[in-house]
Amino acid sequence: MSLHDDAALVLKGYEDQADLRQAYLDHLAAHPDGMWKSCEAGHLTASALVIDPSRGQVLLTLHKKLRMWLQMGGHCEPQDVSLEAAAVREATEESGVAGLTLLAGGPVRLDRHPIPAPCNWHLDVQYAALAPSGAVETISDESLDVRWFAYDEVAEVADDSVVRLLEATRARL
């Protein structure tokens, strides 16, 4: 199965955010290249909020280009066999934490946000990843910093999309 087909199946099974979900599906139907950065109409991305429920903390990255605290994530790559695999790969690469496991139940949220041309839009499929006990993070080339934050600190450092992702993740836990 192609990554494009996997994304369509994942989105068809996602039951929340009906209008946005349909916009993602319409995008994929209209753009065979809609999974890739080269798609000028925008493209799907995969991200994961790395969380340690036992400590009540989330791991965020200070994105080098955007200079914002965000969940880990990014572009799908040709070797990704699924959106879930892309989310885990991105979260592992950007956090340095090995052994991440996605929270069961598929994506936690969708978040569509504008980006500079030529791509124009990221249609982010957001997951939550559980960190193993004793996880040790490292700063990647894409980050200025990587840091654990208590749940109640996230709204002070991150934008509303990250806060909504944390709220949805905690509700699913």
What would the pLDDT profile of 126-149 be if each residue is shown by its tens digit?
Answer: 999 999 998 999 999 989 999 999
| Backbone φ and ψ of 4, nearest 5° | -60, -45
Residue 75 has pLDDT above 90, yes or no: yes
Average pLDDT (77-104) is 97
Give the type of residue at 27. H
Residue 101's DSSP bridge partners are: 130
pLDDT at 142: 86
Percentage of the residues of the chain whose pLDDT score is greater than 90: 90
pLDDT at 95: 97
From CA 38, how far away is CA 42, in angstroms rounded?
8
Give the E-state strand segments of 17-120 in sequence order.
Answer: 43-52, 57-63, 69-70, 72-75, 101-102, 109-114
Residue 151 has pLDDT above 90, yes or no: yes
From CA 158, how far away is CA 164, in angstroms rounded?
10
Give the CA-trace dihedral at 62, 67, 72, 76, to 10 degrees: -150
pLDDT (tens digit, 9 = 90+) per residue, 51-64?
A: 999 999 999 999 98
pLDDT (tens digit, 9 = 90+) per residue, 103-126?
A: 999 999 999 998 877 778 899 999
What is the set of domains in the chain, with CATH numbers?
Answer: 3-172 (3.90.79.10)
With beta carbons less than 8 A apart as the criterion, state whether 56 and 150 touch.
yes
Average pLDDT (17-46) is 96
